[in-house]
Amino acid sequence: MIAIHKKVFHQLLLYLILVIGLTGCDAFSGIPKPPLSVLFAVENAGSRISFKFDISKTDFYAIKLRYFCDKNLRDDVWKNIGGPVEDKSGKRVEPGAPIIIRIRLVQESSTTDSGLIDKEFAAPKLHSWGDCEFDARLTYLKLAPGRYTLTAESLKDAPGLKEIRTELQITKAYLGK
């Protein structure tokens, strides 16, 4: 009886090794795929986040900031993140958030790391919003299958954003029709 259990165990172990070998270790690596959101303290100059992700299908992806608020503080958040307003002459102006964010995106490979973006984004402007979520798209680009590392750094203090929960996101880009 024990010999049968050992044989079944060894067959299952061999099967598992074959599955891992055929599918590649990435299937079990735990590296996430978009959509991804990471908390980011944009209000502090020098605040930095970095994370890896995998792309399995070529498509356009957006890198954006998402701000959140409580409904009773929406007007204050709107002002602090630079939402569109009318100036004294009635003209619509979009000041954007009082921050500068540096984004670096690198595609990893077995031989070299290829830098796709290394750019600063000043005063990111809102491109969509709801009741208590506000999105400021920094950029979008076409990504091919592979592993990437995204690093973001805040380059300017913005004390007005201290109480505003902010995330850096990478999501599928919706570019309209």
ω into 84 cis (within 30 of 0): no
- Convert the pLDDT of each residue in 62-73 to its tens digit: 999 999 999 999
105: number of Cβ within 10 Å: 21
Total domains present in the chain: 2
Beta bridge partners of 60: 142
For residue 97, the domain's CATH number is 2.60.120.790
Q: Which domain holds residue 122?
A: 31-172
Give Cα separations from 28 to 17, 21, 54, 113, 145 (angstroms).
Answer: 12, 11, 12, 22, 17
Mean pLDDT of 81-85: 95
Q: What is the predicted pLDDT for the residue at 22?
A: 37
Which residues are CB-neighbours of 116 under 8 A, at least 6 positions away? 105, 106, 107, 141, 143, 148
Percent helix, strand, coil in the chain, to 5, is 20, 40, 35
Q: Are residues 121 and 138 in the same domain?
A: yes
- Same domain for 12 and 99, yes or no, is no
Mean local confidence (pLDDT), 90-98: 95
On whether residue 128 sits in a domain, the answer given is: yes
Q: What confidence tier does 13 reach under pLDDT thresholds 50, 70, 90? A: very low
Q: Is residue 155 part of a domain?
A: yes
Indicate the pLDDT class of residue 4, thresholds 50, 70 and 90: low
What is the rounded CA–CA span in Å between residue 78 and residue 65? 14
